Amino acid sequence: MRRFKIPEVTVGRLSLYLRCLNELEEEGIEVVSSLDLGRRCGVNPAQIRKDLAYFGEFGTRGVGYYVKELKEDIKRVMGLNKIWEVALVGVGNLGTALLRYRGFQQHGFKLSVAFDIQTEGKEIPEGCQLYHASEMERVIKERGIKLAIISVHYSQAQEVAERLARAGVKGILNFAPVRIRLPRGVVVRNVDMGTELEILTFYLTMKGTR
C-alpha cells in the first residue's frame, strides 16, 4: 500500500463502497462498473476511481470491478480480513444496546469484554465477559485488545480514555458527549448523537420544515 496521508472522507467512503459491494454480492452480481457502483453508493464514478487509486490499481478497463475481488481488496486495506476484539466501557442503557447489536460481528468486530463499576444485575450476551472497571488495564493488556468503545458519563470519558490508551488501546469510539484528547498514536472517533440531531434540525429549518 502506498504510504501517504489518506483523506478522512476517502476512508469513510471505503466503508460505504464495502457495504454496497456486500449488497451486490448478495444479489448475485459478479461484475460492476464504476458508473453503476457510483449510482448505488451515491458517489461520482470519478471519485470512486480516485479513492481506490490511493491503494493501488483495481478493476479491468472495459469490464469494471469484480465484486468479490474488490470487496476482499477493500477489506484488506481496512484491516477487516480478520476479527477484531473490542472492549466496551460503560454497560448502561446505551452500552447494553451496543452489546446486543449483532451487526458488529458481521463487519468483523467482536465485543468480547465489557467493563462497568457495577457488575451485578447486568445482562451480558453470550461470548462477552463482564469485568469490574478496576480490572480494565489488566484484562486489555492480557488480551492485546486494540479497539474500545466508551459509553460512560461525559465526566468520566477522558479518564477512561487515558486508561485505555495506557493499556495499549489504539482506536477509541467515544459515545460520551465530550471531546476526548489523547496523545498521537491513538485514534479517537467522537459520536455525539445530540450533535447529529442538531445538524438535522438545522437542515430541516433551512428548508422550512416544521
Q: Per-residue pLDDT tens for 121-152?
A: 898 999 999 999 999 999 999 999 999 999 99
Half-sphere exposure of 2 (CA within 13 A, CB side): 10
Q: Which of 8-12, 69-73, 144-148 has the lowest mean pLDDT?
A: 8-12
Structural domain contains residue 89: yes
Q: Domain boundary at 18, 44, 77, which?
A: 77
DSSP 60: B
Q: Per-residue pLDDT tens for 82-134?
A: 999 999 999 999 999 999 998 898 889 999 999 999 999 898 999 999 999 99
pTM (two decimals): 0.87
- Contacts by 115-120, CB closer than 8 A, 24 or more apart: 115/87, 115/88, 115/89, 115/90, 115/91, 115/139, 116/89, 116/90, 116/91, 116/92, 118/91
CA distance 201 to 203: 5
Average pLDDT, the chain: 93
Q: Domain boundary at 58, 77, 96, which?
A: 77
Residues 33 and 92 in one domain: no
Give the structural domain span for 94. 84-195
Residues 66 and 154 in one domain: no
Residues 50 and 128 in one domain: no
Asked whether 113 and 133 are in contact (CB, 8 A), the reply is no
Share of the chain above pLDDT 90, in %: 81
Q: What is the CATH number of the domain that holds 119?
A: 3.40.50.720
Residues 62 and 102 in one domain: no
Helix (H) or strand (E) holding 46: helix 45-53
